[in-house]
Amino acid sequence: MNRYLLALVASMISYGFAHGDTVVVENGDVLTGKVDSIAGGRLVLSTTYAGNVVIDMAAIRQLETEGSYNLRLRDKRLVGRLSVVEGMPVVATKMANIPYEIIDLRVVSQSNLAVSSLASEWNSRVDLALALSSGNSTAESFNTLIESDFKQDKTAHKITLLVNTEDSEGLKTKDQLDFDYGFKLFLSDQWFSAANAEYFSDPIKDVDQRISVGIGAGYQFVDNSFGALSTELGLSAVQEQLDGDDEVNPAIRWGVDYNRYFLAKSIELFHRQSLLIIPDDDRGQVLSSSTGVRFALNHRIDTAFRVDLNYETDPIPGNEKADTTYTLGLGVRF
């Protein structure tokens, strides 16, 4: 099985030093790591030595996990640990060991909703897009999105930085900076209190700066191997410098954070948005969102198509309500 050769060699080298889930394939080779998910007849094994390794379920002879998973089999749903007892595969639940056939595993995912499961580590990614054109006109655009999150015990932090610039014939036609920090304190597996701070600047549209700081509450609908969905609602104070004028207003903030993986994590859909509802006759609503799809080239590098939208119901006179940016570039995880 040549496609598992590199993972097998690395697994054999690290076998005596690391513990985790084990996958025995049809020829007896043993791979170690952490079972990320099972879907579409394929298992995704997350490893420290070869990234995500994709294995056909038909090629698996034996499967053991250290952690508990949500399992959907051909005719039942179970929650438990995958184990082997006297050579037979079983699901070790809280009540009993339930025999099953590996080929009957349809969907397997590990829930991240339990507070105790939050990993204590930073996860970061950078999306880069650069476009140059010349001829009858010369243009240059540069777009960078940096995302980083940290989870520990009952808390979660997320930092996002978007820099979007464009020059045409020596004239700057776009100059946006958006920095966002979000904090969550989990009160249960799904409910959390939230705090948020955002800095936005777009001098081209006469938004010299917008600073919003707020608190609220949120709900984590789902967070597992296949993706996550959460929303939050709260109150914010918004300080703006618009075309030289300085004003402070209260606002209601609604945030959404969503992502979903498909095809053994080779495709990811994502959407993140923040809506400020400012109860001032001259301001109205301010929406910023980032929506797109990523295609994984390997476990660290992908191509990303993204649509960034900034929308104001009552912009400064002379400016359009919507400012949309389409980007296609490379993404790096680290």
Q: Can you tell me which residue has the tokens 């984590």?
A: 220
Listed as ranges, residues in the chain with pLDDT below 70 are 1-19, 114-120, 133-137
pLDDT of residue 11: 46
CA distance 130 to 318: 28
- C-alpha span between 79 and 34 (Å, rounded): 17
Half-sphere exposure (Cβ direction) of 24: Cα atoms closer than 13 Å? 12
Q: Give SS3 for 170.
A: coil
Burial of residue 21 (CB within 10 Å: 0-12, 13-18, 19+) is buried
- At 263, the amino acid letter reads L
Architecture of domain 2-110: Roll (2.30)
| CB-based contact 254:235 (threshold 8 Å) | no
CB burial readout 53-86, b (16+ within 10 A) else e:
bebebebbebbbbeebbebbbeeeebebbbbeee
DSSP codes of every residue in 230-264: EEEEEEEEEEEEETTEEEEEEEEEEEEEEEEEETT
Q: Are 143 and 175 in contact (CB under 8 A)?
A: no
pLDDT confidence of residue 153:
80
User: 131-146: per-residue pLDDT in tens?
Assistant: 776 666 677 899 999 9
If one counts every other C-beta atom within 10 angstroms of the C-beta of residue 259, the result is 15
State residue 14's pLDDT score.
42
- The percentage of residues in the chain with a pLDDT greater than 70, rounded to a whole number, is 91
What pLDDT, on a 0 to 100 scale, did the predictor assign at position 9?
Answer: 44
| pTM to 2 decimal places | 0.86
Q: In whole angstroms, what is the distance from residue 154 CA to residue 331 CA?
A: 29
The third-level CATH classification (topology) of the domain covering 116-333 is Porin (2.40.160)
pLDDT digits (tens, 9 = 90+) for 200-246: 999 998 999 999 999 999 999 999 999 999 999 999 999 999 988 89
- Residue length of the chain: 334
Domain range annotation of the chain: 2-110, 116-333
Exposure of 103 in the CB half-sphere (CA atoms within 13 A) = 3
* Residue for token pair 């045409």: 168
